[in-house]
Amino acid sequence: EHNWSQALKYLESATKISRVQPDFNLAMGECYQHLGKLKEAIFHFTLVVQHRPKSSSGWEALIRCLYDAEHYAEAEIQVNIAESKTGGKPIFQFYRSAILFAMGKSKEALIQLDNALQRAPRLLKNFIEVNPVILQNQAVVDLVATFKRKRPI
């Protein structure tokens, strides 16, 4: 936490960095998120996607932060926007699945996870990173095991 606080202080005091630059806001958002200041992090990540609407990393940061803040309905909305702005990248299907699980929509979440695995199996680790506890869900474990038997990840 100390390093994140130092990084935040450095960024706040930097005079040669434009505060509207997406990279500045991405760094600020990451610092705030690691410090548990999710409202501030969401603000900065939102600025990133406003200035760079095709930035997958900006959208991922925003969606993960919304997920961490348990703003699942908003995260789902942002996943839809991210998909449309970034050309339907499969990572967002994994995020949608995680969000749907968090919202208690397991059936729909499993369908999304299955589709995401078909499209980009190597991104499964990103799905698990969002919520490692998901591996305690037997339906998820069964789906991943079935998929791995058919096609090694």
pLDDT of residue 96: 97
Kindly calculate the radius of gyration of the chain based on its CA atoms and give it in whole angstroms.
17
Q: Residue 15 pLDDT more than 60?
A: no
Distance CA 75, CA 104 (A): 14
- The answer to whether 44 and 32 are in contact (CB under 8 A) is yes
Among candidate residues 115, 108, 67, 72, the one with its CA nearest the CA of residue 94 = 115
Among candidate residues 34, 61, 36, the one with its CA nearest the CA of residue 47 = 61
pLDDT per residue over 75-106, tens digit each? 999 999 999 999 999 999 999 999 999 999 99
Q: Residue 109 pLDDT more than 80?
A: yes
- The answer to whether 28 and 58 are in contact (CB under 8 A) is no
Structure-model confidence comparison of residues 12 and 118, the more confident one: 118
pLDDT of residue 152: 60
Distance CA 105, CA 98 (A): 10
Average pLDDT score over the chain: 91
pLDDT of residue 89: 95
Please tell me the pTM assigned to this model: 0.86
Distance CA 91, CA 120 (A): 8
pLDDT per residue over 35-55, tens digit each? 999 999 999 999 999 999 999
pLDDT per residue over 123-141, tens digit each? 999 999 999 999 999 999 9
Q: pLDDT confidence of 149, banded at 50, 70, 90?
A: confident
Please give the full DSSP string across 35-90, using - where no structure is assigned.
TT-HHHHHHHHHHHHHH-TT-HHHHHHHHHHHHHTT-HHHHHHHHHHHHHHTT--T
Half-sphere exposure of 88 (CA within 13 A, CB side): 3
